[in-house]
A = this chain, B = another copy of it.
Amino acid sequence: MTQDKKTYHHGDLRQSLLQAATQIIRDGGVDALSMRKLADNVGVSRTAPYHHFKDKNELLCAIAEAGFADHIRAVSELPQQHPDLEPRLLFELYVLGYIRFADANPETYDLMFGKEIWKLGQPTESLKGISKCCFQHWLEWIETLQDAGILTDKHPTLRVAQASWATLHGLCRLLNDGIYVNREDLEEMGKTAAAMLLAQAGT
C-alpha cells in the first residue's frame, strides 16, 4: 500500500493519482475507487487529492477524457489502415472496433458514456468538448455513408447518426452490464447489427 514517503511534496501527484485511479478502476470497477484508498495507494494523505481535483467527479472526468482520447485515436487510424476497403466492410470494421473497445475497457467505457458523470455528476467543460468532438467524427462519417448510398438518407443525418450509435451503445451496455449477452456472441451480434443498419442500401 503506502509507498515509502520521501518528500513532503510529492512532485507530480496529479499524474500519479490519475495513473493509480485508472489502474484501480480497471481492476475492480468504478465502485472500487475511493478517494481515500486512492490517496493511500500513492502514499499520500486522504485529502491530498483534493488539491488537484475539486472532487471525485472531476477525477472521473479526467479519466473519461483520457478514454475519449484513446478512442478517437483508435477510430481515426481505421480508415488509414484500410484505405481501399469497401465502405460497407469499413463500417462493419468500425462497429467491431467500437464494440471491442468497450469490451476491452469496460470500466472506462462506463465512465465515458455512463450516468455517473453525465447524469449524476457534472461533466467538465473539457470532457464535454472532447466527447462532442467524438460525436462530430461519427456524424461526419454517417453523412459520408449516406452520400455513398449505403445508409438511408430518408432521415436527417443527425437522426441516423443517433439511431446507429444507439445500436452500438446498446450492444456495449448489454454486454458490459451483464445483461443476457455472452461475450462469445459479441462479434456475431455486432455483424448482425451492422448488417441490419446497412441493409436498406437499395431502398
Contacts and interface: CB of A to CB of B under 8 A. Distances in A.
Interface in A172-203: 173-174, 176-181, 185, 188-189, 192-193, 195-197, 199-200, 202-203
Contacts of A169: 170, 173-174
Nearest to A177: B115
Nearest to A155: B192
A173 B176 contact: no
Contact of A170 (B119, B135, B165, B199): B165
Nearest to A115: B177
Contacts of A189: 159, 162-163, 166
20 contacts: A113-B173, A114-B177, A119-B178, A135-B180, A155-B195, A162-B185, A162-B192, A163-B171, A163-B192, A165-B170, A166-B173, A166-B174, A166-B189, A166-B193, A167-B167, A167-B193, A196-B196, A196-B197, A199-B200, A202-B202
Q: Give the dominant DSSP class at A's interface.
A: helix
Contacts of A192: 155, 159-160, 162-163
A168 interface: yes
A169 B176 CA distance: 13
Interface size band for A: 35 or more
A73 interface: no
A164 interface: yes
Contacts of A185: 159, 162
B31 A164 contact: no
Contacts of A119: 176-178
A22 B171 CA distance: 28
Given A152-B195, A199-B199, A203-B199, A170 B177 contact: no
